[in-house]
Structure 1
Amino acid sequence: MSQTYSVPVLFVPDLVVLPGMVVPVPLDDAAQATVDAARASESGKLLVAPRLDDRYPTHGVIASIVQVGRMPGGQQAAVVKGEKRAQIGTGAPGHGTALWVEITEVDDAPITDETKALAAEYKQLVLAMLQRREAWQIIDAVNKMTDPSALADTSGYTAWLTDVQKRELLETADVTARLRLLIDWTGEHLAETEVNDKIADDVRNGMEKQQKEFLLRQQLAAIRKELGEDEPDGADDYRGRVETADLPDNVREAALREVGKLERASDQSPETGWIRTWLDTVLDLPWQVSTTDSTDIAGARQILDADHHGLDDVKDRIVEYLAVRARRADRGLQVVGGRGSGAVMVLAGPPGVGKTSLGESVARALGRKFVRVALGGVRDEAEIRGHRRTYVGALPGRIVRAIGEAGSMNPVVLLDEIDKVGSDYRGDPAAALLEVLDPAQNHTFRDHYLDLDLDLSDVLFLATANVVENIPSALLDRMELVTIDGYTEDDKVVIARDHLLPRQRERAALTDTEVAVTDDALREVAANYTREPGVRQFERLLAKALRKAATNIESGKAQIPVTIDESDLKDYLGRPRFTPESEERTAVPGVATGLAVTGMGGDVLFIEVGRVGGTGADGESAGGTRLQLTGQLGDVMKESAQIALSYVRSHASELGIDPHALEGTVHVHVPAGAVPKDGPSAGVTMVTALVSMATGRKVRADVGMTGEVTLNGRVLPIGGVKQKLLAAQRNGLKTVFIPQRNEPDLDDVPAEVLDALEVKPMVDVAEIVAQALEPVQNGASAAA
């Protein structure tokens, strides 16, 4: 039965004493008083308890004083022996200045079969640890222990347990629970020790191997020096490497000539370094290595369809290329390395439509290696053709380096941002690309550094560009143009659901069972939160919404599963950034909605016309009218405004305009004023805005138009019809006027766009004006 009595208590700050332990305890004034009180008491016992910073200890060890003396440093100390666990109660009176407490002894629970099994398991772990440390005397003592409680309390001596863990053992009265804790902690430490020992052994063995190799190399060098032989990395080694390498005959001959120069040159000659570097570059190139193209046409199309939605023109072109190669292979015709067997395509379109990532999909569909060459900002011709070997730090050009990186002579090489190649005093990189991309010449491409013919005819070159007009005409003539004009709203919803959403869920550590986004929400994001031809900003918004969903789940604000619907977008993404503005902008006469193409794709363009009294200081005279133009207009667009004004003035009676309505200064402004604009396709829009201003009739808010206008009112064809119609659909327009000669371009426009828009091909600008302006009874009176 447990006994309760009073003893003085000794607090130790950096030590946890368990039953059976014999430890020295330094004595300060308080500890000395405790020891004196214990020695003067009837039992001669004291309680040793750990000093805790965060709480008062609940358990300690009843201990006897073995000896009192001094430590080697001269400090007073007492040797105590732990005997039994005790639970600390309330304070109690006692003699001396020591702190006395009332304690209750803690008896061990009966030993069960489970306790014995756990004790045997713990003993094996302790013996394994001690064997690793070669503590043979302690091993003998542990082997002799049979009491599970005493075995568990020997952990007080172990160095791998922390003080916190030892305090937990002190406060755990049940032997079985103590053994379970010790088995877990000791097993983890043993596993960690084994890993650390293995790492240390590997490091030691590696260092010994390096030292051994260094010694052997030093001895080998000394032997070669005594025999008068060259170093193993000398010319003889290069000759052997060239002779055993799988090189074309012309390359082997050139390499052997360079090896001969290396053999004749002295070690002090700077030419030896150039020759060695050149030989290393030649030997590293995969001259005779090619991958086998996949001939599975259906499989290739499936890969392309799985990676990208839409883009049928590009996919069809790749499948056609594969089909032709497969047929040539079936008939035993040359399919690798033959003149003109390569293909050069330029994927032109606004950012974010998947041009760059499409190159990787093409390589995967063909079963080829993929290399990306970034050309944005390249201004040095040597970046393409390489430097002459006589220059310090000379390197081969990016094309040769790309072949080396791919490890084969027929990779897919993506020339990214080819429209952003510049030129300066160092040459024109675009001109250097002519030989690379011309199928009639690239089978003998010559890099300045290699100075050898390199066959690029079997390389599949793909180029990307945002603005085709920035590509030099001679370079564009070498390439097959495939235009990617952007995605419709339906396309964006499908892409987001099938591609963007799974990728962003993975990045946010979410699953489809935790967070779902409805199609209505995706359509709202595509319609009113982004106005882009691609899906890059769309993906950023999805990432933002999923991050907020993850935050709400972690903070407990939302419960799984979370469904983001159209009504929830304001909480996740804020207010819509875009709202239909055509109705607001065209609410007054003199404003018409045009369509334009920029480097970011199609967009709407509002043209505003106003009349003020007097004459404009910087305007241009047009009879009794002066024309003032603002909005950073280019020369072509300025001429379109002059043509539009001349047409309106010459046909005023036919258009129902009071001749006095155009007197004074006519101000034409094209916002936004900070963006430069040019091109002839705003002609019909300017005519419509001028007539609207002069008659006081507003332009219909749902109407957009594009086309070049002549002095007699003919509507001439323009470019970018597909991109402009996509922009019209994104901005909520319903009717679009285009030149009649652009009607064949409607074959490339997606069916859902044509269903959403009423596209009217027109010949005469007067017809556009008649249909675009609101009826007379709905408009204001003419501006006299």
Structure 2
Amino acid sequence: MSSTSLPVLFVADLVVLPGMVVSLELDEASRAAVDAANTGSEGRLLVAPRLDDRYASHGVIAKVERVGRFSSGGPAVVLKAEQRGRIGSGVSGPGAALWVEVEPVEDHVTERARELAEDYKRLVVAVLQRREAWQVIDQVHQMSDPSAIADAAGYAPYISAERKRELLEDTDVESRLETLIGWTRDHLAEAEVTDKIGEDVREGMERSQREFLLRQQLAAIRKELGEGEPEGADDYRARVEAAEVPDAVREALLREVDKLERSSDQSPETAWIRTWLDTVLELPWHVTTEDSTDIVAARGVLDADHHGLDEVKERIVEYLAVRARRAERGLQVVGGRGSGAVVLLAGPPGVGKTSLGESVAHALGREFVRVALGGVRDEAEIRGHRRTYVGALPGRIVRAIKEAGSMNPVVLLDEVDKIGADYRGDPAAALLEVLDPAQNHTFRDHYLELDLDLSDVLFIATANVVEQIPQALLDRMELVTLDGYTEDDKVAIARDFLLPRQLERAALTADEVTVSDAALREIAANYTREAGVRQMERFLAKALRKAAIRLASGAERVDVDLADLKDLVGRPRFTPEAPERTSVPGVATGLAVTGLGGDVLFIEASAHEGKAGLTLTGQLGDVMKESAQIALTFVRSHAAELGVDASFFDRAIHVHVPAGATPKDGPSAGITMVTALTSLASGRPVRSEVGMTGEVTLNGRVLPIGGLKQKLLAAQRNGITEVFVPLRNEPDLDDVPADVLEALTVNVVGDVLDVVRGALEPGTTGAAAAA
């Protein structure tokens, strides 16, 4: 059929199908369409739905039957829909209305369509019978045109506007009827389920009414006997019976409710029981969240939130992959042992340990709860207080589960190495049961006195110093070390994470302020000497605040480059000091690990006339004092091999480790002390670009040390280009970033004589130092 031009009337949240008669309130746009229809198209227009997502491709050609007003006084129009129309391109037409080309759509009725129409009529009659709409049923029986029967669904209240638009855009009668049959069958099935639920509810209400009557009679009997019943006991019993809790928990709850019913309002036990009942009922006993099984998406979330940290990300992805395979094979154990995981993230401050826990929860699709353990000294903070104490509360673990609202959240135990112990108990010992995958499926809080299944909780602990964690507790956790970032990592983190965050906090945009990579690298190299990026973020925030002042003073744009750093954040805080410190004999550069990450340690040796002996300063621990004694003995016993005059040891020798206010201890300074003493005795300075770490024995063997990755990162940050490390630490080099190994020359040594030969400047040997 040829197309025609018609004005368009868009109708919001309503779909008109052929055969329908509707009344619409007229606004300015719809009045223009109706006026245009009466003027230029013999009272005919196109009615098209306008839903939220898009405009429809089809509408319905309708006839303006009447223009008038509603009983409320508002203008209205009555339209009778006649035929589908396919909407074409826009055309010009009289009036202010929008005109379009409309191609009428003819319906083709087949024998198959007639059979489907009869099936659909029977379903519609079944729906109407449930509503006792007998007059409408008679009208349905009189309908015979399959197309009209399908389009009558426009009056059906159980079909949404989106589905009606599907019917409007479907030009095939058979397809429309098949779709409607499926929808109507689903609606009937849902209605039957609703009726069944309603019947069950009525039966339950009758049972509840009977119990209510009996309890009212029991209350009247108690009143006659002079036994008062505390108000609200029935409410607790009803809550317990309706709660989804394990059977053992329900029995314990009902026992407490019985006690509550027998207690008087004056009894202090009443308040304790009510508080306990509220706490237990609020726990999510049967609530769990579904883990995400998309490994690629989970890794994408972790990569988007954090730069680097590949080992941690790999561990989380492994955990996800195993859970997904267990779920696929039906091996998921309900309340099973060892189904959870305990990961310890250890590393210096500012490397992203705490924020990584939240990213893990996001990747898994779980709830996230943070439990701060720093400074906790009371065991009851973990296990809860006995209910006999006034103001008793459950422990932090139970409160974390309650806060999460599910039994399988990600619980971050922050700063687990800073737990203390005193007369109130040892919280670290109380954590043993919580973090043991073989025991925590029956964790018992002192307040609850009920078994709580923690086996599906993903515990993530964080710590700065692993050595401060008790060995028994450390044994229950899987250690993942975050040793800090390289200079390139810091620049990438600053560009991708820190700078956008600080721009937002300073109310600036990237068009107003830019920071070059060279400036970021300068801040990372010479303004900070940290393993993490906290101090770097503070410098960025300071630079952006200064930039905001410039913009407020009239500048259109601020570009932060190397030349601007001095004005914005001041002079560099750090410069390489190894060349200056090691320019004289007797000073060697060692590598150490502190609570703040890796650092360089200068060991100075001096000799003067006086009583022969060794003086140690610098607030050294027992281990470092022993290392100094061993180093002196080794140099004395191997004086000939080292080119040292034996008379050197008749002088008073002083070994000092600067920064005396900072306690220092650990088994990794032995070879540094040997090198410093040999340098002093031979008069040969230590090469300024050399750093070293390792313990030494009396016969000169170099013993392995810990924290090699952090020490090499510190060496790179401090401008050292060559390091000596113990031979038995060679496997640890696999964990060091490739760019760090490229920047350093790493010598693995087993004999301290090799260290001395490689570290000292070439020169005349002998008793030069004594001169």
Q: Is the 8 A contact 1:626 1:665 kept in 2?
A: yes
2:136 alignment counterpart: none
1:283 alignment counterpart: 281
2:602 alignment counterpart: 606
CA distance in 1, matches of 2:627, 2:326: 53
1:365 alignment counterpart: 363
User: What does residue range 349-388 of structure 1 map to in structure 2 within 5 Å?
Assistant: 349-388=347-386
Question: Percent same amino acid at aligned positions?
Answer: 78
2:615 alignment counterpart: 628
2:710 alignment counterpart: 723
CA displacement at 1:228 relative to structure 2: 6.4
Name the aligned partner's letter for residue 735 of structure 1. Answer: E
Name the aligned partner's letter for residue 718 of structure 2. Answer: N
Cα deviation per residue 1:662-700 (whole Å; 9 max; x = unaligned)? 222100000111000011210000000001100111100
CA displacement at 1:483 relative to structure 2: 0.4
Q: Is the 8 A contact 2:644 2:765 kept in 1?
A: no
Cα deviation per residue 1:685-741 (whole Å; 9 max; x = unaligned)? 000000110011110000000000011111111101000000000000010000011
Cα deviation per residue 1:14-50 (whole Å; 9 max; x = unaligned)? xxxxxxxxxxxxxxxxxxxxxxxxxxxxxxxxxxxxx
2:561 alignment counterpart: 565
- Secondary structure of the residue that 2:613 maps to in structure 1? strand
CA displacement at 1:226 relative to structure 2: 14
CA displacement at 1:233 relative to structure 2: 4.8
Name the aligned partner's letter for residue 681 of structure 2. Answer: A
CA distance in 2, matches of 1:726, 1:675: 21
2:463 alignment counterpart: 465
CA displacement at 1:336 relative to structure 2: 4.7
Q: Is the 8 A contact 1:348 1:482 kept in 2?
A: yes
CA displacement at 1:779 relative to structure 2: 12
Q: Is the 8 A contact 2:644 2:767 kept in 1?
A: no
Cα deviation per residue 1:427-483 (whole Å; 9 max; x = unaligned)? 100000000000000000000000000000000000000000000000000000000
2:33 alignment counterpart: none
CA distance in 1, matches of 2:531, 2:447: 42
1:341 alignment counterpart: 339
CA distance in 2, matches of 1:309, 1:327: 28
User: What does residue range 122-521 of structure 1 map to in structure 2 within 5 Å?
Assistant: 233-521=231-519
- Secondary structure of the residue that 2:770 maps to in structure 1? coil
Name the aligned partner's letter for residue 595 of structure 2. Answer: G
Q: Is the 8 A contact 2:230 2:263 kept in 1?
A: no
Name the aligned partner's letter for residue 607 of structure 2. Answer: R
Q: Is the 8 A contact 1:242 1:255 kept in 2?
A: yes
Q: Is the 8 A contact 1:698 1:779 kept in 2?
A: no
Name the aligned partner's letter for residue 339 of structure 1. Answer: R
Residue 577 (structure 1) aligned with residue 564 (structure 2): no
CA displacement at 1:236 relative to structure 2: 1.1
Rg larger for: 1
CA distance in 2, matches of 1:326, 1:585: 57
CA distance in 2, matches of 1:580, 1:399: 47
Q: Is the 8 A contact 1:644 1:684 kept in 2?
A: yes
Q: Is the 8 A contact 1:300 1:365 kept in 2?
A: yes
CA distance in 2, matches of 1:367, 1:518: 36
Name the aligned partner's letter for residue 423 of structure 1. Answer: A
Name the aligned partner's letter for residue 715 of structure 1. Answer: V
CA distance in 1, matches of 2:649, 2:364: 64
Cα deviation per residue 1:35-75 (whole Å; 9 max; x = unaligned)? xxxxxxxxxxxxxxxxxxxxxxxxxxxxxxxxxxxxxxxxx
Name the aligned partner's letter for residue 612 of structure 1. Answer: H
1:674 alignment counterpart: 661
CA distance in 2, matches of 1:231, 1:280: 19
Name the aligned partner's letter for residue 425 of structure 1. Answer: Y
Q: Is the 8 A contact 1:518 1:564 kept in 2?
A: yes
1:702 alignment counterpart: 689
- Secondary structure of the residue that 1:346 maps to in structure 2? strand
Name the aligned partner's letter for residue 504 of structure 1. Answer: Q
CA displacement at 1:555 relative to structure 2: 1.6
- Secondary structure of the residue that 2:641 maps to in structure 1? coil
CA distance in 2, matches of 1:327, 1:459: 18
1:165 alignment counterpart: none
CA distance in 2, matches of 1:536, 1:460: 27
Cα deviation per residue 1:302-354 (whole Å; 9 max; x = unaligned)? 00000001111110000000000000010011155321100001100000000
Q: Single out whichever of 232-241 and 563-572 deviates more from structure 2.
A: 232-241
Cα deviation per residue 1:728-775 (whole Å; 9 max; x = unaligned)? 000000100000110000000000000000000011111111111111
- Secondary structure of the residue that 1:653 maps to in structure 2? helix
- Secondary structure of the residue that 1:371 maps to in structure 2? strand
Cα deviation per residue 1:186-215 (whole Å; 9 max; x = unaligned)? xxxxxxxxxxxxxxxxxxxxxxxxxxxxxx
Q: Is the 8 A contact 1:437 1:461 kept in 2?
A: yes
From 676, 688, 702, the counterpart of 2:675: 688
CA distance in 1, matches of 2:222, 2:696: 90
2:639 alignment counterpart: 652
CA distance in 2, matches of 1:317, 1:782: 54
| 1:227–1:686 distance in 2 versus 1, CA, 3 Å | closer
- Give the TM-score normalised by the residue count of structure 2: 0.70
- Secondary structure of the residue that 2:250 maps to in structure 1? helix
Cα deviation per residue 1:221-252 (whole Å; 9 max; x = unaligned)? xxx99996988952111101100111110000
Name the aligned partner's letter for residue 691 of structure 2. Answer: G
CA distance in 2, matches of 1:316, 1:699: 42
Q: Is the 8 A contact 1:329 1:335 kept in 2?
A: no
CA RMSD of aligned residues (A): 1.8
From 652, 667, 692, the counterpart of 1:665: 652
CA distance in 1, matches of 2:673, 2:239: 72
Equivalenced residue count is 551
CA displacement at 1:778 relative to structure 2: 11
CA distance in 2, matches of 1:763, 1:393: 61
CA distance in 1, matches of 2:333, 2:731: 36
Name the aligned partner's letter for residue 551 of structure 1. Answer: I
CA distance in 2, matches of 1:490, 1:777: 41
- Secondary structure of the residue that 1:422 maps to in structure 2? coil
CA displacement at 1:567 relative to structure 2: 1.4
CA distance in 1, matches of 2:456, 2:283: 15
Q: Is the 8 A contact 1:325 1:335 kept in 2?
A: no
CA distance in 1, matches of 2:311, 2:359: 15
CA displacement at 1:570 relative to structure 2: 0.5
Q: Mind listing any 5+ residue stretches in structure 1 that lack a counterpart? A: 1-223, 616-624
Q: Is the 8 A contact 1:314 1:482 kept in 2?
A: yes
CA distance in 2, matches of 1:520, 1:682: 36
Q: Is the 8 A contact 1:697 1:780 kept in 2?
A: no
Q: Is the 8 A contact 1:413 1:462 kept in 2?
A: yes
- Give the TM-score normalised by the residue count of structure 1: 0.69
CA distance in 2, matches of 1:431, 1:781: 57
Q: Is the 8 A contact 1:684 1:765 kept in 2?
A: yes
Name the aligned partner's letter for residue 412 of structure 1. Answer: V
CA distance in 2, matches of 1:336, 1:771: 61
Q: Is the 8 A contact 1:658 1:782 kept in 2?
A: no
CA distance in 1, matches of 2:663, 2:691: 21
CA displacement at 1:783 relative to structure 2: 2.5
- Secondary structure of the residue that 1:462 maps to in structure 2? strand
CA distance in 1, matches of 2:576, 2:544: 27
CA distance in 2, matches of 1:683, 1:463: 33
